[in-house]
Structure 1
Amino acid sequence: MSQRRCRRTRYYVSQTVLKHGAGTCPVPRVPAAEIEAAVIEQIRGMLRAPEVVVASWRAAQPECEGLQEDEVREALAALDPLWAELFPAEQARIIQLLIERVDIGTNGLKLRFRDKGLAQMVAEVGIMNGKGQKAA
């Protein structure tokens, strides 16, 4: 974190730089706000992808008996416009649920998603809406 003109700026610093020092990595540090915005945009785009809806529905079926594909599509679509209204702690929880790792390189950003993260999120939404029942 640095402070400039009474304003704090957060940065993500490369593990290589932390272990081996400055100059050892082509991307030594990146402003946190830029990375976080890019990660959120990728998540939002992913939630709109038809193949993600189908995969999430299939993965969530064991957790939510009777859950329908259109219910999953609606739940994932509803998250996008509500994102800005969520408390930061809930946004962080969803991101941690979905994202395992973020790698930054000279050719861009690469996200590694958690295998069960989307299924768990869909199951939670289905249970909260009463659209499915947790399997015993």
Structure 2
Amino acid sequence: MHTIIRRTCYVLLFGLVIEGALTFPLLAAWYGFPKLSLTQVCSELEKARYSDASRECDVPYAFPGPPLAGPAEAEGQTTARDVLGVQPKPGYVDIDFRELVKRREACKDFDPTTLPAPQNQTAEQRRLGDYCNYISDDR
């Protein structure tokens, strides 16, 4: 019985190591790493998370950083649209496969004056307009 438990533990630990080793590279590719640098991906995620075009990733990160020294990462940040509570609900939409690349390129050509009236806009036009107006740093 001990042999079976030991082998099961080895298999599960091996699976955890493989999962941990592949998490970062797969997430980086999901968000658009080959087209965007890791700093750009990080900055776009910060902008989406806080709904603030001025958010950027600090590179290189100061050592020692929070919580050992200095203020917390988002201390004083009031632009996030999240609904806080026992179970917080994020106010941003899910980010699909390589959507940061598509949105970044679409916001470069975005002109809010060419959009139809709000009642005549499609859901995609509203989402892109909202993203470009509140989050994009290309304006």
Normalised by the length of structure 1, the TM-score is 0.26
Larger Rg: 2
The structure, 1 or 2, with the larger RCO (C-alpha pairs under 8 Å, 6+ apart) is: 2
